Structure 1
Amino acid sequence: MKKVLGFVFLITVSALNACKESDPPLPDNLVQFESTEQGMDAATQSSTIKLKLSRAVDAATPITVQVTPTGITYGTQFTTTPAITNNTLSLTVPAGSSETSFTITKANSIFLSGTETIDFAITSAGNPVLVGTTKSLKVKFTSIISTGTTLTLDGGTGGSSAVNSVFVDLSNNAATSIRRDSWDLGFYSGADFRVILNNTTGAAAIALAKNDLAQVTAADTAGLSLSVGNFDPAGLKWVDDVSGDLTKTVIASISATDADNKVYIINRGTSGSTPAKGWVKVRILRNGTTGYTLQYAGIKETTFKTVSITKDDAYNFKYISFTTGTVVDVEPAKARWDIEWSGGIYKTSDGTNDIPYYFADQVYINVLGGVTAAEILTSTVSYDAYADSNIATTTFKNDKYVIGSNWRVASQTSTGVRTDRFYVVKDAAGNVYKIKFISFASQDGGERGKPKFEFKLVKKVS
Structure 2
Amino acid sequence: MKKAIVFALLMAVGTLNACKESDPPLPDNVVQFESAEQGIDAATQEATISLKLSRAVDAATPVTVQLTPTGVTYGTEFTTTPAATGNVLSLTVPAGSNETSFTLTKASNIFLSGTETIAFSIASATSPVLIGDTKQLTVKFTSIVSAGTALTLDGGPGGSSAINSVFVDLSNNAATSVKRSGWDLGFYSGDDFRVMLNNTTGATAIALNKTDLTQVTATDTTGLALTLGFDPSGLKLVDDVSGDITKTVIPAISATDADNKVYIINRGTGGSTPAKGWIKIRVLRNGTTGYTLQYAGVQETTFKTVSISKDAAYNFKYVSFDSGALVDVEPAKTRWDIEWTGAIYKTSDGTNDIPYYFADQVYINSLAGVTAAEILTSTVSYEAYAESNIATTAFSSDKHVIGANWRATTGTVGVKTDRFYVIKDAAGNFYKLRFISFASQDGGERGKPTLEFKLVKQAS
Query: Fold conserved (TM > 0.5)?
Result: yes
Aligned to 1:121: 121
Equivalent-residue separation in structure 2 for 1:344 and 1:7 (angstroms): 62
Q: Please tell me whether residue 454 in structure 1 is matched to residue 452 in structure 2.
A: yes
Say whether 1:179 aligns with 2:179: yes
Aligned-partner residue type, residue 406 of structure 1: N
SS of the residue corresponding to residue 363 of structure 1 reads: strand
SS at match of 1:392: helix
Per-residue CA deviations over 1:141-161 (Å, capped at 9, x if unaligned) read 000000000000000011111
Q: Within 5 Å, which residues of 2 pair with 1:173-212?
A: 173-212=173-212
Report what 2:403 is aligned to.
404
**By how many angstroms is 1:299 displaced?**
0.7
- The alpha-carbon deviation at position 83 of structure 1 amounts to 1.4
Hey, what's the Cα distance between the residues in 2 that align with 1:427 and 1:91? Answer: 34
AA at the equivalent of 1:421: R
**Matched residue type, 2:39:** G
Question: Contact conserved, 1:163 with 1:271, CA < 8 A, in 2?
Answer: no
Q: Give me the whole-angstrom Cα distance separating, in 1, the residues matched to 2:196 and 2:119.
A: 41
Whether contact under 8 Å (2:165, 2:177) holds in the other structure is yes
Letter in 2 for 1:330: V
Secondary structure of the residue aligned to 1:237 is: helix
The correspondence of residues 33-432 of structure 1 with structure 2, limited to 5 A, is 33-228=33-228, 230-270=229-269, 272-411=271-410, 413-432=411-430
Q: Secondary structure at the match of 2:171?
A: helix
Asked if the contact 1:190–1:313 (Cα under 8 Å) also holds between the matched residues in 2, the reply is yes
Deviations 1:7-50 (A, max 9, x none): 65543332112123454321111100000000011111111100
**In structure 2, how many angstroms separate the alpha carbons of the residues matched to 1:164 and 1:403?**
19
Distance 1:436 1:72 in 2: 36
Deviation string, structure 1 residues 33-71 (Cα, Å, up to 9, x no partner): 000000011111111100000111111000011111111
Q: Distance in 1 between matches of 2:292 and 2:276?
A: 23
Q: Does 1:30 align with 2:30?
A: yes
**CA deviation after TM superposition for structure 1 residue 3, in Å:** 7.5
**C-alpha displacement at 1:370, in angstroms?**
1.0
Runs of 5+ unmatched residues, structure 2? none
Report if the CA contact (8 A) 1:181-1:271 is conserved.
no
TM-score w.r.t. the length of structure 1 is: 0.97
CA distance in 1, matches of 2:116, 2:338: 27
Q: Is the 8 A contact 2:270 2:357 kept in 1?
A: no
1:383-414 CA-to-partner distances (Å, cap 9, x unmatched) read: 00000000011111111000000111112x33
Partners of 2:63 and 2:122 within 8 A in 1 = yes
Residue 363 of structure 1, CA deviation: 0.2
Residue deviations 1:404-426, cap 9 Å, x none?
00111112x33111111100000
Shift of 1:346: 0.7
Q: CA deviation at 1:215?
A: 1.6
Which residue identity is paired with 2:243?
G
Alignment deviations for residues 63-95 of structure 1 (CA, whole Å, 9 cap, x no partner): 011111111111111111111112211110011
- Displacement after TM superposition at 1:277 (Å): 1.2
Q: Given that residues 181 and 270 in structure 1 are in contact (C-alpha distance below 8 angstroms), is that contact kept between their aligned partners in structure 2?
A: no
Residue 62 of structure 2 aligns with an amino acid whose one-letter code is: P
Flag the 1:220–1:134 CA change in 2: closer, same or farther, 3 A. same
Q: Cα distance, 1:275 vs. partner?
A: 2.3
Question: Percent identity at matched positions?
Answer: 76
For 1:9 and 1:387, locate their aligned partners in 2 and report how far apart those are by CA, in whole Å.
62
Once the 2 structures are TM-superposed, how far is the Cα of residue 272 of structure 1 from its aligned partner? Answer: 3.8
Aligned-residue offset at 1:271 = 5.2
Over aligned residue pairs, what C-alpha RMSD do you find? 1.3
- Secondary structure of 2:110's aligned partner: coil
- The answer on whether the counterparts of 2:271 and 2:357 sit within 8 Å (CA) in structure 1 is no
**Structure 2: distance between partners of 1:236 and 1:396:** 27
Give the SS at the match of 1:200.
Answer: helix
Partner secondary structure for residue 149 of structure 1: strand
Residues 40, 141 of structure 1: 8 Å contact kept: yes
Partners of 2:242 and 2:453 in 1: CA distance:
25
C-alpha deviation, 1:225, in angstroms: 2.1
Amino acid corresponding to residue 205 of structure 1 in structure 2: A
Aligned residues: 459
